[in-house]
Homo-oligomer: A and B are copies of this chain.
Amino acid sequence: MGRPRQFDPDTAVTDAMEAFWDLGYEGASAAVLEEHMGIGRSSLYATFGSKDELYAAAMDRYLEDLRKRVITGLRADGPALDVLQSFFHRVTRRGEPGGEPLRCCMIVRSCATGTTASPAIARLVERAIAELDDAFHDLLLRARHEGTLRARGSLRGLARLLTTTFQGLNIAANAGRSRRELQSITRATLDLLEA
């Protein structure tokens, strides 16, 4: 009963995510969020409570999308290491004209700025990282079954290394590395993995 909302909270969260992703937690001020979400301040606070809670919701959305993107990317058909190569290759192409924009992964940014000091965010991030580990681990298992993987030592450790490389690549791209350098990094990664 009463007046119904004039906007869709779900798309509002998506819009907020875009703002936080582009501008970071501090950069996305209340005024900026109003603008991006297309709603007034009252609606914002009435619906989401506080900036922190909105950020948590936006982060949750981001991680959900990331999960989908990564999992579908790594479950693609074909030889496992080819799949991995094209997955990393896609990352190195961010920022090219007409492609995905180059912006820092929200996980990386959150860890770097210590937003993870908040227990709620820390929990979300830790879970997402564990799932990244799992996705890489599945792919490594595939590669091992194919016999294309030089696997010595723990596959789980290797999977964690790939997660680390994935996030490191993100930093590298945002550090102004050229496409050539970025691709030399993914090339080196695959050279090491091949049997």
Are B125 and A114 in contact, CB atoms less than 8 angstroms apart?
no
Size bracket of the A interface: 35 or more
What is the oligomeric copy number?
Answer: 2
Q: Which of B116, B156, B172 contacts A184 (CB 8 A)?
A: B156
Q: Does A85 contact B (CB under 8 A)?
A: no
Contacts of A125 in B (CB 8 A): 175-176
- Told that A104-B114, A154-B187, A161-B165 touch, could you supply 9 new A-B pairs with CB distance under 8 A? A104-B113, A112-B174, A122-B176, A129-B172, A150-B192, A156-B184, A158-B188, A164-B168, A164-B171
The 10 closest A-B pairs by CB, nearest first: A168-B168, A157-B184, A164-B168, A112-B112, A157-B188, A153-B191, A161-B188, A192-B192, A111-B174, A109-B112
